[in-house]
Structure 1
């Protein structure tokens, strides 16, 4: 069952069949009110479940990713980006990567305390911790839970480097901490901007701030002395690829130091969700979009291979890359890498240290 939902990205709420879970054909809110429905389903309510994690720093050894550790204060993401590669993780919880992913969220309020404990472990060696690598640390519920800010406070207290990737100008709520850290070479922020067309952005990322608000955030971060990057991710053929040059230009005008792009990725359950979204919002070009994605992904919906998954392959991918590189040279971007310091890190003091400090 596929339906356009107000302010939601996915049109389906199907379970993954990778784990032999039953298919959910409608969300619980709709089933509760089904008898009274006349026409479109009601708006989905967002629920938040507390998750009591044992650890908070996730490690990875992927050779095509520029960080080896990350923190995800939340599971699921209310921004509802239809292309989000993190959607399949909700299947591990017997929830749908579709509408459940963007409406049934998990928060980790113990994250700051867990982080402090992990940083205090003997032998811990500091390297930048990445936020926003799975779900957005500044999605709407951060305004209430403030878990991301709590973690940044711990890192600020210990002079530990961090990077943040977000689609939200809510990152400005923490500009006081981030500016002070950036002055020491400890913080950098990336704003993800996929389209400048508000109508496209509204269907791609229904609960994320508008593109202009994100560009305004770039300007404010730069003005505060925070190294700022713009990520054009993903680029969707026949929907947003024509905007590459304009996005690079606007990023440069806003003061971004660097910019990057990634062709759309459709791992696991993301592919059928994306196809259903195309049928609902772009039926006139759905076949063309998927054909070009196949050309970029070696004839498949997705290429999971290291390095090629981030770059794509074939003539279409080469053309996107060439256009992007020409635009970057024209606007003077990507001349230097943003490098953070790790040598200032001071492990958190234990109870005795606080007592006798």
Structure 2
């Protein structure tokens, strides 16, 4: 379903149901909670390089009734900014996926903590499924939180809401049976793990330097540890406390040409992103796809960088042979059988978090940084 297809909210729900993203119970919940009231009049469509304002009522409704995200805030609500999306009503298929991964059960009295109220739409879906008293949601932005309260009340929902930094959860109301983050995390805050009951589940999108974004589903063991597997890709705006700054500038005078053994397209799988992001901490990767291949840009925190285009030589900058390091890590990954994203998992403890392959004992360690040969 695209933003130009008609059909309204009911058609969107049936689209998700036909794709197997909704069971019968969630199907009824989604039909009962239209998306449109939760979208402010001023909203934007997310584009690759900018946000495009919705200028007509027809355009606004077409996007709302599509399987696409709707941006509801730019620049943290501050006027005169560069126009960076800082809050959205998430893509419906992603919402449905994350809610399914929560495995919530109203009959068992599950209590859910949501990190990031935003528009209040996911909060309303949870309230409709579990009842208002079982739903807790925190939002760091006072303006978004105020609007969400008004919209939720108008929809007949009165969940438990608070203006707070979601990184710390809601300790006074813990423990919870489920925790759902609707913003991307660089790491899983241990406070959220501590607020889960034994057997409780946390579902969150994560985004690290190398990762394009991945959903993780963790289960708490009741002894201070949560672990689980990655469950597919995801692209969410970062939690405010987890935003990153710009890396050091690149010294272009150090540019050198190096031959390539790897097509950049081979680096764009979720499995490789999870593996390489763990082996090469602090290395960022962005990419662009074209008709004949792909281009990747790699950079570390010190300003060393590399870029490669399908069918061409690579270029490296700075003291680190970054492209050659990435190729070595890719060779390791291929030797492991090119595992998929679902083969990787995460363990979170009070001491930190570790990515593993296939089982929690097989932890992936960072690769040693080799001195360049000159």
TM-score by length of 1: 0.30
Structure showing the higher helix proportion among its residues: 1
TM (norm. structure 2) is 0.29
Name which structure has the greater RCO, CA cutoff 8 Å, separation 6+.
1
Instruction: Mark the structure with the bigger radius of gyration.
Output: 2
